[in-house]
Each structure stands twice: as C-alpha cells, then as structure tokens.
Amino acid sequence: MRMKIFCMVVLCACLFIACEKDNDDYEPVKPPVEQPEKPVEPEKPDEPEKPDEPTTPPSTDDIINFKIGDLNMIVGSNAWNAVAYGDGKYVAVGENGYVTMSTNGVDWNTPKQVGSNVWYAVAYANGKFVAVGGEWI
C-alpha cells in the first residue's frame, strides 16, 4: 500500500512540475487570412464577355420515331428501352436481351440476343458501351 501511495505522490509531483505556468512562452499559430480574388476586367470595358461556343451533339431527329406517351421505342419486332451514341455508333438495348447497332441512326443491324434478361439502359464512356439489365451488367 505504501508503494502505491509513494507512486501516486511522485506522479502528482511530476504533473505539477510539468504543468507550471512559466512554460507558456509560445503563441498559438494564427491561420492565414485569405484575400478575395479580384474580378478580371474585360479587355474592352464596354463589351460584355462572349460565352464559350457549345459543342453540338449529333442529330437524333431521324433515329426513331415514337409518340409522346409510348413506353418503349419500337424498331423492327423488338421493344427497345435505351439508345446511346459513342465512337460514331448508336447502340440500342431492349427486351429479352436484344442489342443492335447503327452508324447513322436510321439503318440498324440485325438485333443480337445477348442474355435473356431485359436491358434497361446503355451508356458510352472510355471507349466502351455499358448496358444495365435485369440481373447483371
């Protein structure tokens, strides 16, 4: 018991010595103050800035005709759910695992059945078409 009391006294003495107020010679670091950016003045103050020209995606006017309210687009005898454009090709995906491709959006290749589930969506990115279906991608 005496040993425990002795250790507690030594520990408390060390804490009091380490926590003396005389050791507070430091100042806290102040964060830098950000200066707001100055607006860029146009070269000619009388003329407003011209916006960047938008890029025009390929026309989709003649791809598939459907009425407002149709649930699916119909090409041939298959029901198609989505079309994506990339690398100069249009790819359509639809019911029963069917996929088809076109280079002009009017003339379509014979549909191929890839799987047996429905394809809900298709997208093009990084050089590949990716389709999302009922049970797998």
Distance CA 85, CA 58 (A): 9
Q: How sure is the predictor about 26, in pLDDT bands with cuts at 50, 70 and 90?
A: low
Among 100, 102, 75, smallest CA distance to 88 is for 102
pLDDT tens digits, 53-89: 766 766 666 665 555 545 444 555 667 888 999 999 9
pTM: 0.45
Extract the tokens encoding 72. Answer: 């699916």
